[in-house]
Amino acid sequence: MDWLTTVDHKKIGILYLIAGFLFFIIGGLEALVIRYQLMVPMNDVVSGQLFNELITMHGTTMIFLAAMPMLFALMNAVIPLQIGARDVAFPFLNSLGFWTFFFGGVLLNLSWFANAVPDAGWTSYVPLASTTYSDGHGVDYYVIGLQIAGIGTLLGGINFMATIINMRAPGLTFMRLPMFTWTIFITSVLIVFAFPVLTVGLVALMFDRLFHANFFESANGGNTVLWEHIFWVFGHPEVYILILPAFGIISEVVSTFSRKRLFGYSSMVFATMLIAFLGFMVWAHHMFTTGLGPVANGLFSIATMLIAVPTGVKIFNWLFTLWGGSIKFNTSSMFAIGFVPTFVMGGVTGVMLASAPADYQYHDTYFVVAHFHYVIVGGLIFGIFSGLHYWWPKMFGRKLNEVLGQITFWTFFIGFHMTFLIQHFLGLLGMPRRVVSYLPGQGFDNMNLISTIGAFLMGIGTIAFIINVFVTWSKPRNAEADAWGDGRSLEWTIPSPPPEYNFKQLPLVRSYDAWWKEKMDGNKAMTPAEPVGPIHMPSPSILPFIMSVGLFIAGFGFMYNKLIVAGAGLLITFACMAIRSLFDDHGFHIEPEDQEKEVHV
Ligand code: HEM
Ligand SMILES: [Cu+2]
């Protein structure tokens, strides 16, 4: 019950982690079935229809329900601590964001039980996704599930933007922010600009499907290319929403474990901004083959290639940070170091794809599949694993087991390259993407087999991680505040796990790498910026949970055209909103004498 009503960012972070990881496993199992089907030519484990459902659900689940929530887990767990705050700016909204994401994801996945699974690909291109070609309820689940989950993401973006602007500890100016906080700040800005675009597209598609509107139906004068524009104006920045936080994690981990200040801090900040900005300018590189014409293709080609410049700045800064550092190797730092060359390879194939004429050859082949998995798995998932091992002691008070961690790293790392490196060559040989099977003797057979073996190796790595979590669970909570001994930012100045209110006294920040600076000056603790006093806390609330259930019910109502159900669901949500607005809740205080008592979570 505690967990249903919590508004504490640390607990919400854990909720995101559990839910995101569950969806990661579901998406992973879907991937393994896909790979199992493609292991040998002319395989028939799954039907063509089921295969389409699997790739659609795999892509959608991994991006929206696994990768983003796991990032939200880390940002919830870490950002308030890194900026010396007691919580996020809007704790109630934070909880609402989690629950809408969760119920949106559940709704999407209930499609498996309703026997109507989305099958138009995770990009849901029309006319394939229109009622003409997908007339069951499958795509409705996609549209409405993502709609509800998207509310959660948007709330999170707004919340973290406000938090980082407003809640920084005294002295923590923008150019002293830890790099992870910087990337989350810019990611939040991207979310705030990109997600409404997706929402608009989904609303339009929903109107097309449910009420026979005519945005995308070309037979009636609608425009299918419009969907592609809307989708990718959201979709390309989305890639940066995913990868920038990973950049932030890598920056923290690399600097901590090489015991050096991050090389080129300010260039890192501006590179991040530049990448975010350019990320919005390049969406049409997904549409070179749509027939936009040479001028558009040329401009979008060049704009895309430009992104390699700030990205290169970042890569070199990480290398220079490692250069000459006294590097400590452990699971976290190895995922971070493994990230660098892997991500570079994803970037190189990105530049190849950005060349419009070459893309005519690569488009819709396995080359693309290889490319985006190098970026998303080799970038983001490596980053998440690195960050989880790094901040686990802060979140749970226990360090993950190193031996199991090494097993996770090596199986996952080798499995990853086995799975996806070879797909580049499959693509160059012409194996098309999104096909359920292939004929023998085209030179695809062995490579597909290797790819599938690699995928199962990644599965083993994931299992090792799960075992690690449970093994660690049974250990005593003995992690120190500065768990790695080399912490640099504020989260390492408070106990692991932190008390409910994080900082008993807000710290005074005197430089970049605030905690490192104090340690170098021989101080044992941060200088407090305020006297000890009662701490104001927000009250827990069940309303976010109920509001999300309301939306969930309304979603079903709309989908199956039961407007009464839809109305009832919306009524629940609006009633909760009214309650929230009409009844003042001033929260409570933790008095100084109670502050000693206990470490929570
Ligand atoms: C065990 C790891 C994984 C394996 C073996 C795997 C495998 C695959 C396969 C075989 C496809 C179908 C390609 C096609 O024919 O279009 C695919 C598509 C995709 N995957 Fe993964 N994947 C894995 C992890 C991930 C992760 C972690 C993400 C995102 C965070 C992701 C995102 C996607 C996306 C966006 C698509 C495109 C789906 C589409 O175009 O319809 N994958 N993956
Ligand atoms: Cu793109």
Provide the pLDDT for residue 394: 96
75 lines ligand 1 (CB under 6 A): no
379 lines ligand 1 (CB under 6 A): no
34 lines ligand 1 (CB under 6 A): yes
pLDDT surpassing 50 at residue 433: yes
> Which residue's structure tokens are 């096909």?
435
- Average pLDDT (86-112) is 96
Residue nearest to atom 29 of ligand 1 (CA): 62
Which pair of structure tokens corresponds to residue 558? 């709309």
Q: For residues 32 and 195, give the distance between their C-alpha atoms in angstroms, rounded to a whole number.
A: 30
The DSSP symbol for 590 reads: E
Provide the pLDDT for residue 575: 96
Banded model confidence at residue 10, pLDDT cuts 50, 70, 90 = very high
Q: How many CA atoms lie within 13 A of 217 on its CB side?
A: 17
Provide the pLDDT for residue 598: 57
pLDDT surpassing 70 at residue 544: yes
Q: Ligand 1 mean position to 125 CA, how many Å?
A: 17
Q: Ligand 2 mean position to 412 CA, how many Å?
A: 26
pLDDT surpassing 70 at residue 600: no
pLDDT tens digits for range 394-425: 999 999 999 999 999 999 999 999 999 999 99
Tell me whether residue 325 is exposed, middle or buried, using C-beta atoms within 10 angstroms of its C-beta: 0 to 12, 13 to 18, 19 or more.
middle
Residue nearest to atom 6 of ligand 1 (CA): 31
Residues in the chain: 601
Residue nearest to atom 12 of ligand 1 (CA): 55
Q: Please give the helix or strand (H or E) that residue 588 lies within, else none.
A: strand 588-590
Which atom of ligand 1 is nearest to 56's Cα? 41
- Average pLDDT (268-291) is 95
Banded model confidence at residue 336, pLDDT cuts 50, 70, 90 = very high
Which pair of structure tokens corresponds to residue 441? 């003797």
Q: Which ligand is nearest to the CA of 237?
A: 2
Provide the pLDDT for residue 591: 87
Q: Ligand 1 mean position to 59 CA, how many Å?
A: 5
- Average pLDDT (124-147) is 92
The candidate with the shortest Cα–Cα distance to 89, out of 16, 158, 174, 183, is 158
Q: Which ligand is nearest to the CA of 453?
A: 1
Residue nearest to atom 43 of ligand 1 (CA): 31
383 lines ligand 1 (CB under 6 A): no
31 lines ligand 1 (CB under 6 A): yes
Check: CB of residue 241 under 8 Å from CB of residue 187: yes
Q: Ligand 1 mean position to 198 CA, how many Å?
A: 20
246 lines ligand 1 (CB under 6 A): no
pLDDT surpassing 80 at residue 597: no
Which atom of ligand 1 is nearest to 433's Cα? 15
189 lines ligand 1 (CB under 6 A): no
Q: Ligand 2 mean position to 61 CA, how many Å?
A: 19
Which atom of ligand 1 is nearest to 459's Cα? 1
- Mutating to test ligand 1, I would choose from 33, 55, 366 the residue with most ligand atoms within 8 A of its C-beta, which is 55
Residue nearest to atom 7 of ligand 1 (CA): 31
Q: Ligand 2 mean position to 282 CA, how many Å?
A: 7
Residue nearest to atom 18 of ligand 1 (CA): 59
59 lines ligand 1 (CB under 6 A): yes
pLDDT surpassing 80 at residue 277: yes
Q: Ligand 1 mean position to 215 CA, how many Å?
A: 29
176 lines ligand 1 (CB under 6 A): no
Q: For residues 286 and 305, give the distance between their C-alpha atoms in angstroms, rounded to a whole number.
A: 13
Q: Dmax over Cα atoms in the chain, in whole Å?
A: 76
Provide the pLDDT for residue 212: 87
pLDDT tens digits for range 445-494: 999 999 999 999 999 999 999 999 999 999 999 899 999 999 999 999 99
Residue nearest to atom 22 of ligand 1 (CA): 31
Q: Ligand 2 mean position to 596 CA, how many Å?
A: 51
Q: Ligand 2 mean position to 304 CA, how many Å?
A: 8
Check: CB of residue 566 under 8 Å from CB of residue 554: yes
Q: Ligand 1 mean position to 123 CA, how many Å?
A: 12
Q: Which ligand is nearest to the CA of 432?
A: 1
pLDDT surpassing 90 at residue 599: no
62 lines ligand 1 (CB under 6 A): yes
Q: Ligand 1 mean position to 272 CA, how many Å?
A: 26
Q: Ligand 1 mean position to 563 CA, how many Å?
A: 36
- Average pLDDT (259-282) is 95
Of the chain, the end-to-end C-alpha distance in Å amounts to 14
Provide the pLDDT for residue 136: 87
The DSSP symbol for 551 reads: H
pLDDT surpassing 90 at residue 35: yes
Q: Ligand 2 mean position to 286 CA, how many Å?
A: 6
- Average pLDDT (279-286) is 94
Collect all residues with Cβ–Cβ distance below 8 Å to 596 and sequence separation of at least 6: none
- Average pLDDT (373-395) is 96
Degrees, nearest 5: CA angle 332-397-22:
65
Pairing of strands 588-590, 535-537: antiparallel
Provide the pLDDT for residue 601: 44
Banded model confidence at residue 219, pLDDT cuts 50, 70, 90 = confident
Provide the pLDDT for residue 587: 87
Provide the pLDDT for residue 594: 80
Q: Ligand 1 mean position to 220 CA, how many Å?
A: 34
Which atom of ligand 1 is nearest to 38's Cα? 10
121 lines ligand 1 (CB under 6 A): yes
438 lines ligand 1 (CB under 6 A): no
433 lines ligand 1 (CB under 6 A): yes
Residue nearest to atom 36 of ligand 1 (CA): 59
Check: CB of residue 472 under 8 Å from CB of residue 64: no
pLDDT tens digits for range 294-332: 999 999 999 999 999 999 999 999 999 999 888 999 999
Provide the pLDDT for residue 211: 86
- The torsion region of residue 325 among left (phi > 0), alpha (psi -120 to 50) and beta comes to beta
> Which residues make up the environment of ion ligand 2, defined by Cβ < 5 Å?
236
Q: How many CA atoms lie within 13 A of 573 on its CB side?
A: 19
